[in-house]
Amino acid sequence: MKAKDSDRTGAIRILIGEFGRQTEKVLTDEQVIAIIKKLIKSERELLAAQGKEGSPFLTIMEEYLPKAASEEEIRAWIAANIDFSSFANRMQAMRPIMNHFGSAADGKVVKKILESFA
């Protein structure tokens, strides 16, 4: 607020409002990340409906998410740790991959990587 950044102030107020609407008073990191992702998803849907690409709110909310694992990091971990012969199909490997990376990996990215493995 002291920096007079109205976009950031507005985004943080929305985020605090979402936290206040939760039934639990103490939130885990995973719950906070889920709330931020929900706000980002709803903003993207709103922008898509308006035919716009991005917004200051979207940029600010994405700054508060933890650093996502890169595609190269995910590929390297899969190559080192996943034996595809133990699965009926490659998509069944999603569970151990997502359990390892948690919220640091986007499911769409993991799916794309799994589809590219031969």
Q: pLDDT tens-digit profile of 81-116?
A: 888 888 888 888 889 998 888 878 888 888 998 888
Does 1 fall in a domain?
Answer: no
Instruction: Read off the pLDDT band of 35 (50, 70, 90).
Output: very high
The model's pTM = 0.67
Round to whole Å and give the CA distance between 56 and 9: 11
User: Given 36, 63, 90, which residue is the final one in a domain?
Assistant: 63
Q: Which domain holds residue 53?
A: 6-63
Helix H or strand E segment including 47:
helix 29-50
Residue 14 shares a structural domain with residue 55: yes
* Percent with pLDDT over 70 in the chain: 97
